[in-house]
Amino acid sequence: MKVRRLPDPATVALAAMLTMVPPALIAAVPPALIAAVPPALTAAVPPAAWATPPAAAASTGAPLPAAGPDSPASVPAPGSAPATAPITSGAPPAGASIALLLPLSGRQAAAGDTVRDGFLTAWYAAPGADRPPLRLYDTAQLGVAGAIANATTDGAALLVGPLTREDVAAAADYTGSHPPILALNALGADRVLIGNFWQFALSPEDEARQAARRVLADGHHSGIALVPAGDWGNRVLAAFRTELAADGGELLDTRVYDPGSNDYADAIERALHTDESAARRKRLEAVLGTKLQFQPRRRGDIGFIFAPGQAGSERLLRPQLRYYFAGDVATYATADAFLPNPNANLDLDGLIFPDSPWMLGGALPDSVREAANAAWPVGGPRRNELFAFGFDAWRLAAALRAQSNPGSIAVDGLSGHLSIGEDGRVHRELIWAQIRNGEPHLLSDAPPAPATPPAEAESSGGAATGTR
């Protein structure tokens, strides 16, 4: 797919917000962003533009212009547009406005701000003719029901948001009239809403299902899982196990480790059966009445290890797996395992994981980063995975406006290749990579290289000494 180059950085990204938005609307821009923008861009904005508290503007649905960078269009004031009737199927009208519902204050404000920054970056990068009127609503101040009601009254034809799981559940339960919703999180698997409620999430369960398919595609059918204790680990493990079993794979054992600890030896030894090997040594020593030269032997019936976790835990887990003679076993994780840091990631060598183009690179993410870095050489908005998520939320919203059949949508985004299933959930296909010398190397559809050279054959009667 040919990727369109972004416009000049001075008129794209969030820097464009300051040069395009009428003074009365700049109140929606958080002061922290204003302070981070180069003085050359803020000099053209009248000082009086910053007088209105941002929270007051956002809570009522502050509108943003829809026209091109040369002459922003006039935007109707909140409440001036008639309420829209609910749309139960198909796409929203192409020329209608979009409402962005996010927590822009309170304890979730940092996440909401970053998603908003990504969304606005994509919105301003779009050609003026393809940019519908846009209003922002603070769900932390208005509540989900209030934000939906206000956006509907203000004439929105598509709602993007809310963001948290709890708020998405509240939106799904909303009984009043409202336009279609592109929610920025997912409901539980037991809830299916068809028609006017789409769910877009950075779901670790989806990543676990992709990991199961990759394991099988790489020719492995039997293995073990090592997962962190807690709800996150339980959900990821359940998704992996179900997907693996559906295509004939099998988990021979599952062990849980404490992510707050630095030592995962107990879980690893039990999963690899090296504890049984040590027990056999003790029985032999008791029978023979002498100490034996010994090297424990791990189980030989596993083709893979599924070891999801956060980056800090993975950097501890992977070396310990090597220590217990499992360094040559193909080890898979989810995207949370990787954070760019070549020195720290040397301990992850051999790990196989899926991640987004935003994290692993590509024409589109490189173009967005170039524009954002040019606009803010120092500071500026956070540009993490939530930024990419917000960027893609706009791209999905734009596709929903343009397509009468959401099932035909296919978007190459910063967070992955996106499509919409019959259940209204956005499917996010990621890129596969393997850590080598601390750096991620993209993998093709072919099986990845061995993690490390195979370990030498182990024997209780070998020359190696020690109990591990």
Q: What is the pLDDT of residues 323-355, one digit of tens each?
A: 999 999 999 999 999 998 888 899 999 999 999
Residue 27: what pLDDT? 41
Identify which of 415, 417, 394, 408 has the alpha carbon closest to the alpha carbon of residue 130: 394
Residues 66/134, Cβ–Cβ less than 8 Å: yes
Q: DSSP string spanning 170-182?
A: HHHH--S----EE
* Better-predicted residue by pLDDT, 449 or 52: 449
Instruction: Give Cβ neighbours of residue 198 (< 8 Å, ≥ 6 apart).
Output: 180, 181, 182, 183, 396, 400, 406, 420, 424, 425, 426
Whether 96 shows a pLDDT value over 90: the answer reads: no
Band of residue 134 on the pLDDT scale cut at 50, 70, 90: very high
Tell me the per-residue pLDDT of 18-73, one tens digit each, with 9 for 90 and over: 333 433 333 444 444 444 443 333 333 333 332 223 333 455 565 554 333 332 22
Residue 403: what pLDDT? 80
Interatomic CA distance for residues 385 and 355, integer angstroms = 10
Residue 466: what pLDDT? 28
Residue 90: what pLDDT? 47
Q: What is the mean pLDDT of residues 202-208?
A: 95
Residue 337: what pLDDT? 96
Interatomic CA distance for residues 254 and 277, integer angstroms = 18
Q: How far is CA 107 from CA 113, 141, 174, 297, in A?
A: 11, 12, 23, 50
Quick one: 188 exposed, middle or buried, by C-beta within 10 A (0-12, 13-18, 19+)? exposed
Name the least confident of 31-35, 206-210, 248-252.
31-35
Interatomic CA distance for residues 381 and 14, integer angstroms = 8
pLDDT above 70 covers a percentage of the chain that reads: 69
Residues 49/152, Cβ–Cβ less than 8 Å: no
Q: What is the mean pLDDT of residues 191-220?
A: 92
Q: How far is CA 35 from CA 92, 138, 379, in A?
A: 36, 21, 9
Kindly report the number of other CB atoms within 10 A of residue 456's CB atom. 10
Q: What is the mean pLDDT of residues 400-420?
A: 91
Tell me the per-residue pLDDT of 275-285, one tens digit each, with 9 for 90 and over: 555 555 555 55
Most confident of 93-107, 178-192, 204-218: 204-218
pLDDT above 90 covers a percentage of the chain that reads: 58
Residue 296: what pLDDT? 72
Q: DSSP string spanning 228-283?
A: ESSHHHHHHHHHHHHHHHHTT-EEEEEEEE-TT-S--HHHHHHHHTHHHHHHHHHH
Interatomic CA distance for residues 94 and 111, integer angstroms = 29
Residues 23/46, Cβ–Cβ less than 8 Å: yes
Residues 31/111, Cβ–Cβ less than 8 Å: no
Nearest 5°: CA angle at 157, between 155 and 159?
A: 105
Band of residue 190 on the pLDDT scale cut at 50, 70, 90: confident
Residue 191: what pLDDT? 80
DSSP letter for 385, please.
H
Whether 431 shows a pLDDT value over 70: the answer reads: yes
Which structural domains are found in the chain, ordered by start?
Answer: 9-199+361-429 (3.40.50.2300), 205-356+430-442 (3.40.50.2300)
Peptide bond before 9: cis, by omega within 30 degrees of 0? no
* Better-predicted residue by pLDDT, 83 or 390: 390
Tell me how far apart the terminal alpha carbons of the chain are, to the nearest angstrom. 51
Q: Mean pLDDT for the chain?
A: 78
Whether 407 shows a pLDDT value over 50: the answer reads: yes
pTM recorded for the entire structure: 0.76
* Better-predicted residue by pLDDT, 150 or 467: 150
Instruction: Quote the distance between the C-alpha of residue 279 and its chain's center.
Output: 43
Most confident of 80-84, 85-89, 281-285: 281-285
Interatomic CA distance for residues 178 and 195, integer angstroms = 13
Interatomic CA distance for residues 110 and 103, integer angstroms = 8
